Amino acid sequence: MTQVTIETAEKILATTYSRMPVVFEKGQGATLWDTAGKAYTDFLAGIAVCGLGHAHPAVQAALAEQAGKLLHVSNLFYTRPQVALGQWLIRHSFADRVFFCNSGAEANEAAIKLARKYFSDQGAQDRYRIIAMEQSFHGRTMGSLSATGQAKIRKGFEPVLEGFDFVPFNDAEALAARVDDSVCAVMLEPIQGEGGIVCPDPGYLAAVRRLCDERGALMILDEVQTGMGRTGKLFAHEHEGVTPDIMTLAKSLGNGLPIGAMLAREAAAGAFGPGAHATTFGGTPIITAGALAVVQTIEGEDLVARAARIGAYFLERLQELKGRHARIEAVRGRGLLLGLKLKEEGAPIVNACLERGFVINCVQGDILRFAPPLIISTREIDALIDCLDAILSTEV
């Protein structure tokens, strides 16, 4: 059966992914089971998505209840779950308003459009350029791709949208040299996820904020991967004492439900009047009811503080591992978004981990990424460290 599923998938699905040879069937907490009944500990959580782990009862209950009432009515009307989720996000962030959509890329599209509209509304139609970062990742739609500073991701799709320039991450001087009055926004991730778990140097985000203020540009933070407690704060920018004008969320906001959100301060948000932007499914009741259960659980179970605590333990264990293995070049990250930069290709180690029942992945070819559910235990972390220790001592 498993083999048939894989063979059929390879025949009929778009060939955009090289998938690992496993068919997952169910999950519970941080454990996944494949169709053969083999268990895996999930240190990827669907790429920083399933913060609560799998099959969380609060999410199940909220979805079941809402599914029996109302799935969808469109944004021509009000629904309670959308408003309640919006309120929660506003209460816990710098923002005054939220636009719901269906993915990270769409949230970034909304942010890009809002930044341009904000200046266009003031008669500054020429102020449309966006400065983004080299090695950034903002999504695969043409707009978010245009803000993505990785040649390998843009290749074959050029020309991308006009008006995007790139500077190196963590280089405030390079940024200062580019932000003039043609620039509507600076757009960046508070920690570059796909770019290799690259953290900001102390003071860097504050310098970006200052520069945006001085030059009148908006600051857009893409917290799609870092948001909702992953880094040990609800939003990663809180580590830096900096607030953006616009923030995008997606991945762990829905714990696997397709949802994105763009949050903004009133001054910027006002540029989206009726008809300016829209989406059929964004904020639909079934998804926002589920996401509301997600955020309430994150709050109720104090999972942000837990991510900080367990993440510090995990980081320490990875540093010990680095001390024992010269094949490791560096340990990176914050909270439960951690990376291990290797002096070799990461794929064979990812495969060896899978073989031994651990799901991890690799970014940029040589950086192992760990983004487990926020409910991961120290025992599960210890088991992964033992597994990596054994692999790095003997294999590949």
Ligand X SMILES: *Cc1c(COP(=O)(O)O)cnc(C)c1O
Supply the minimum distance, in Å, between the C-beta of residue 7 and ligand X. 27
Q: Which is nearer to ligand X, 110 or 387 (CB)?
A: 110
Query: Largest Cα–Cα distance of the chain, in whole Å?
Result: 64
Placement of tokens 């990376």 in the chain: 339
The H or E element that residue 90 is part of is: helix 80-91
The length of the chain is: 396
Written as six digits, the tokens of 204 are 């860097």
Active site residue 113: no
Supply the minimum distance, in Å, between the C-beta of residue 161 and ligand X. 16
Placement of tokens 């599209």 in the chain: 109
Written as six digits, the tokens of 337 are 């978004």
Q: Which is nearer to ligand X, 183 or 197 (CB)?
A: 197
> Can you tell me the distance from the alpha carbon of 354 to that of 22, in angstroms, rounded to the nearest whole number?
9
Site residues, ligand X (CB under 6 A): 103-105, 108, 137-139, 189, 193-194, 222, 224-225, 250-251
Supply the minimum distance, in Å, between the C-beta of residue 4 and ligand X. 28
Q: Which is nearer to ligand X, 105 or 391 (CB)?
A: 105
- Please identify the residue of the shown chain whose CB is closest to the bound ligand X: 104
Active site residue 251: yes
> Can you tell me the distance from the alpha carbon of 75 to that of 287, in angstroms, rounded to the nearest whole number?
13
The H or E element that residue 205 is part of is: helix 204-215
Supply the minimum distance, in Å, between the C-beta of residue 257 and ligand X. 12
Contact of 256 with 48, CB cutoff 8 Å: no
Q: Which is nearer to ligand X, 250 or 359 (CB)?
A: 250
Q: Which of 166, 251, 358, 366 is catalytic?
A: 251
> Can you tell me the distance from the alpha carbon of 335 to that of 191, in angstroms, rounded to the nearest whole number?
11
Q: What's the distance, CA 361 to chain centroid? A: 15
Supply the minimum distance, in Å, between the C-beta of residue 197 and ligand X. 11
Written as six digits, the tokens of 151 are 């040649």
DSSP state, residue 37:
-
Active site residue 366: no
Helix, strand and coil percent figures for the chain, each rounded to 5: 40, 20, 40
Q: Which of 99, 100, 119, 137 is catalytic?
A: 137
Respond yes or no on whether the N-terminal peptide bond of residue 159 is cis (omega within 30° of 0).
yes
Supply the minimum distance, in Å, between the C-beta of residue 184 and ligand X. 19
Q: Which is nearer to ligand X, 139 or 143 (CB)?
A: 139
Q: Which of 43, 113, 117, 222 is catalytic?
A: 222
Strand order in the sheet with 367-370: 328-334, 337-342, 367-370, 361-363
- 243, 248, 254, 256: CA torsion to nearest 10: -130
Q: Which is nearer to ligand X, 132 or 318 (CB)?
A: 132
Q: How many CB atoms lie within 10 A of CB 171?
A: 15
Supply the minimum distance, in Å, between the C-beta of residue 199 and ligand X. 14
For residue 19, give every residue at least 6 positions away whose Cβ sits within 8 Å of its Cβ, in sequence order, or none: 9
Helices and strands, number each (H, E), in the chain: 14, 15
Q: Which is nearer to ligand X, 189 or 380 (CB)?
A: 189
DSSP state, residue 200:
P
Supply the minimum distance, in Å, between the C-beta of residue 103 and ligand X. 3
Q: Which residue(s) pair with 123 in the sheet?
A: none
Q: Which is nearer to ligand X, 29 or 193 (CB)?
A: 193
Q: Which residue(s) pair with 129 in the sheet?
A: 183
Which positions are catalytic?
137, 222, 251
